[in-house]
A and B are shown apart, each in its own frame.
Chain A
């Protein structure tokens, strides 16, 4: 009996030791090592992803989701549901309403594609989960550092945004229709080296097109248009040596330099009210599609929307070819930078299984080969270092059937990769009021330009010459008043 008792004591001690060891190991293990712990193939969990993709990008993304659901998702017990909300601003508004549980709002998703300004607000409302709980340092090291760094903006340096697809900006031009202009004026697309060159070329183009309808004065056409005026302001300020908002240790330093803004003003507002630049539809790519502009600055992810045909006002179409290059800098730019954009994904507080499932999807979707494949279909840049290289992109593209759109995408990805790897990738860290300030800056310049352009066109329609019509808006005083108001508005916004 004594021997038996002694044996049982040994067994009990061994078992307790094993249990204790496993418990300690379990507690200290990263969630990423046991992501599937809460997942059960027999009781699949639904992960809802809000995105703002459209068209082909949406289709490709949904194909990606379907592939996940039918493979890893089935195996692990995760079903991803993709919901497209059209555009990033609509998505952000809807998400904030959902988090605030406003009447009529949608159920909060598990993942949502947002900019850092929106993520900042969500973090303040304690609605986000850190991705550090799901990715080890080793895993994160595979991603482009700047993409990951963009997701760390709070005091605790938590990773609150995870990159799935990023983008930059590119300068694209309808080289088919540009040829006639180039032939007549000698201004080729490749001769444009700076924004100032573009402004001058746009003026020349307006005059050239106006001359084609000699019986109708001042009906020249715009050469150029761009989306995301805020990017123009932020990046331009940065390149000109006056970063608008510098965030360090949670403190925001505002640097609104008059001369810098004057440069910005002179290379967008002035040509805009003159009709050299234009913005007619929701996106510049749409204006290019309808022949209203020949050149644009658009998100590299919008390359799938770059037209392969142009439909004129008579709805007649002709095929075109687009030329893409990196976005132009100012002549006095201190350094060349590229904007780092493309909403990353935030993880909203959900059930443990949903959060595990969301992390699993992101890991799977950003596997280099898969991520690059999606990039070559959508125009978004891949997010891992390995895949965001020119050789990787070129090699992967070789497998695709060549098409105009495909070629456009390839060019855009190579331009973006070059910018991310060789230039400064600029992204504003969010701060309190950064979302509102961005909207303020966006509308301050564009809305003013739209309103003043309307006044000019009305004046022209009333018989005034363009020069006279724009004169009142071209003065230093007018700019200064606008700039002063802008500064006030920014201060007010930041103080709210």
Chain B
């Protein structure tokens, strides 16, 4: 697949918006729907309806109580006049005999005259519109109840402004009074004054005849228990309607001699029904009505509110038959408006009143759509809230998806527009996950760049490897050798050796870097003398510096005789890299300073800080390159050879050791590297017998001259070339060889051999059939006496510390890294065979 793509190619698939939007909106619709229907239809509506009905009922009850109190209170105050009149009548009976009014109009007029003042006084003290006293001028029930066109003497005085507090009678009007009383009454005559009550029927004068009849039919009852609340009546068409509350006045023989009553104008009653108490007058009204106990229809007496006029005509009755579940009733007005009603019966009669059946009721009516309007309002509010939540959710999703998509889109654009020349810094967008993605992309780019550098590296490696290989191959070719003299041949051999060594160095660096990048590098810290920091590398650099006449100045703190826990191999690798670079980039006759300082944080600390400074006055490093000094494979333009891995390897190793590395450089003036590594001081020196990979050239060369002749060596090597090299080297020293081409063959050869037949085993590690480590383990496991003691020396290209450690664990005694250096081979064999 091509690594370059046109980033504007259409990307198929779901956008973040679609991927997020659809499931969220479905969930939110579901949520809103459940919320709305559960709230509205889950009992809330019924609750609210009941609540509205309860409020209406409460107001109705309060208004009903006010009516009851008014009636009760008013009638209670008439006890004074009742008692007075009864006492007066008793006197009349005493003076004039029983039933003094019968056929004696003068007595009646006289009596009314005597009652005038008490009635006016009672009228003044109460908020009623009128008071009346009508005399019974008959002494038999039938005659008394004769109602067809009969005249009765009576006194009816009205006060149109019942709240007035006048003490005179100028604001009172006589409605009914004998003409002889006019002058003495002091009241003006109303327009429809007449001297007597004229009744045309019992219904027409129900306020007189009903209580009168009740008195005749309930002779044992007191007058108060026979009170009667009349229908509205008026004296003339233009007179305002009044309702009466009348009781029979009883003689000592319980015979009714008069009817005493109070009048309340319908206008006054209407004023007790506030118009806007329930809701506005257009939508509600109170109605005071009468109702027979067994009936559901109510006959209105008085009402207050425009609603009544709009819903009913003057002859309408209010039907309460259509009850509802909130204990009210429904009724439809003539304009088809649905009304909700509640009714309460006024308790204005004493118990066992014969008129109990005819109840006075107070009705509250309200338009159903107004009464329950807030329910609809709540429904709409809930619906609105649900929709609003839905909309907000959508907006939220839009914002979220936009906030996610936008940076991703921006990132995509940046990545698509980037060029290698611009470098790769995408910046950070403030969103953790996206910034992580950005970091990954930058790392990817880094790795890609590294791949690019790696490609360049391989390109260069190809050149750098091929060059010494060319030398090796060419200088060892028969074509060049057959005509070469001995000096030339020696020269060729030197070049071949140098090329091999250079090639080995290249391979080692690549292997080191690979291991570091794969995080397979572990520090193997062992107690070493602190002097090992410089003692290994200084001689090597001395030689290299000598070749270029470079002044190699050493400033080393060797005062402290300590042992530290350190990975000597990697530590030397670090120092060697820095110093070899210094040598490489310092021109002839330049100067290199090498300083090693050791510091303790405090004298009780068990850590010592090692500061290594390498300063040269070489070519320096450019400002551009110093930014990528430690980037693997990166080299300055003028570098013609090398892997470009040395500094990156050194930095990685320093960081592994919890140290730091800094570099300062000035192009054309020189470079300073400062490495700071903390080491733990250890007290007990532990000596290893194992050889390190270090090219310890200080090894005694004469060691190779130890007598190895006649020693029998088992060589386990699968590669014929390697086997040939080893054999040649060993045979040169007169050793006897037995070859095994794999570990299995070597194991069998050793197992089959006589005891102590072999003096040592040279074991390759990577072999088919059985590798060297397994073969060693099995050899050591043999029960023969020399199995545990025979020296087994590893020969392997695996030259890392862990390889050495693996060899030790398998039971090997020593480790020789390929390519085998002859002197090291001889030295190692002598070390293990010299005592033998």
Contacts and interface: CB of A to CB of B under 8 A. Distances in A.
Whether chain B is bound by chain A comes out as yes
Nearest to B171: A86
Interface stretch (A31-39, A52-60, A188-196, A341-349): A52-60
A463 interface: no
Contact of A311 (B160, B179, B238, B267): B179
Of all A-B residue pairs in the complex, the 3 with the closest CB atoms, nearest first, are: A55-B191, A86-B171, A315-B195
B183 A90 contact: no
B240 interface: yes
A60 B194 CA distance: 21
A83 B165 CA distance: 14
26 contacts: A54-B160, A54-B188, A55-B238, A58-B160, A59-B239, A85-B164, A86-B160, A86-B171, A86-B172, A86-B188, A87-B170, A90-B166, A90-B170, A280-B183, A281-B182, A282-B170, A282-B186, A289-B189, A289-B193, A311-B179, A311-B194, A315-B153, A315-B178, A315-B180, A315-B195, A315-B196
Interface string A264-307: 00000000000000001111011001100000000000001100
B166 A84 contact: no
Interface string A71-91: 000100000000111110110
B281 to A, nearest CB: 9
Nearest to B173: A54
A458 B183 CA distance: 18
A285 B180 CA distance: 15
Contacts of B153: 315
Contact of A317 (B105, B187, B195): B195
A58 B178 CA distance: 24
B238 A60 contact: yes
A320 B553 CA distance: 159
B188 A286 contact: yes
B46 interface: no
A54 B190 contact: yes
Given A59-B239, A281-B183, A286 B189 contact: yes
Contacts of B556: none
A59 B160 contact: no
Nearest to B276: A44
A86 B170 contact: yes
B755 interface: no
B39 interface: no
A104 B183 contact: no
A55 B193 CA distance: 10
B769 interface: no
B161 interface: yes
A313 interface: yes
Interface of A: 54-56, 58-60, 62, 70, 74, 83-87, 89-90, 104, 280-283, 285-286, 289-290, 304-305, 311-313, 315, 317
Interface string B224-246: 00000000000010111000000
Interface of B: 105, 153, 160-161, 164-166, 170-173, 178-180, 182-183, 186-196, 236, 238-240, 267, 306
A55 B170 contact: no
B317 to A, nearest CB: 23
A55 B190 contact: yes
Contacts of B165: 104
Contacts, number: 83
Contacts of A56: 191, 236, 238
Contact of A84 (B161, B189, B239): B161
A40 B164 CA distance: 31
A305 B192 CA distance: 8
Contacts of A304: 191
The winner among B105, B171, B189 for most chain A CB atoms within 10 A is: B189
A83 B190 contact: no
Given A54-B173, A315-B105, A85 B178 contact: no
Contacts of B195: 311, 315, 317
A289 B173 CA distance: 15
Given A55-B190, A84-B160, A90-B171, A315 B179 contact: yes
Contacts of B192: 55
Contacts of A62: 240, 267
A288 B192 CA distance: 14
A282 B238 contact: no
Contacts of B236: 56
B191 A83 contact: no
A85 B171 contact: yes
Contacts of A290: 179, 182
Contacts of B193: 286, 289
Nearest to A58: B160
Nearest to B193: A289
A55 to B, nearest CB: 3
Contacts of A281: 182-183, 188-189
A217 B449 CA distance: 153
Contacts of B170: 86-87, 89-90, 282
Given A54-B191, A55-B191, A84-B160, A312 B173 contact: no
Contacts of B194: 311, 317
Contacts of B161: 83-86
Contacts of B183: 280-281
Given A84-B161, A85-B164, A55 B179 contact: no
B746 to A, nearest CB: 99
A283 B183 CA distance: 10
A159 B190 CA distance: 34
B306 A70 contact: yes
Contacts of A89: 170
Contacts of A283: 188-189
A304 B105 CA distance: 30
A312 B189 CA distance: 15
Given A54-B188, A86-B171, A281-B189, A59 B238 contact: yes
A60 B238 CA distance: 8
B173 A55 contact: yes
A187 to B, nearest CB: 26
Nearest to A79: B275
Nearest to B174: A286
B560 to A, nearest CB: 80
A58 B129 CA distance: 15
A177 to B, nearest CB: 15
Contacts of B178: 315
B169 to A, nearest CB: 9
A313 B188 contact: no
B534 to A, nearest CB: 78
A124 B189 CA distance: 35
A260 to B, nearest CB: 32
Contacts of A58: 160
A313 B179 contact: yes
Given A62-B267, A290-B179, 8 more contacts: A55-B238, A56-B238, A85-B161, A85-B164, A282-B189, A290-B182, A311-B179, A317-B195
B239 A313 contact: no
A56 B192 CA distance: 9
Contacts of B239: 59
A85 B160 CA distance: 8
Contacts of B191: 54-56, 304-305
A54 B172 CA distance: 10
A62 B268 CA distance: 13
A151 B405 CA distance: 86
A70 to B, nearest CB: 7
A69 B190 CA distance: 26
A90 B195 CA distance: 26
A241 B166 CA distance: 41
A103 to B, nearest CB: 11
Contacts of A289: 189, 193
The winner among A280, A282, A283 for most chain B CB atoms within 10 A is: A282
Nearest to B275: A79
A463 B432 CA distance: 132
A286 B190 contact: no
Contacts of A282: 170, 186-189
A56 B153 CA distance: 24
B208 to A, nearest CB: 18
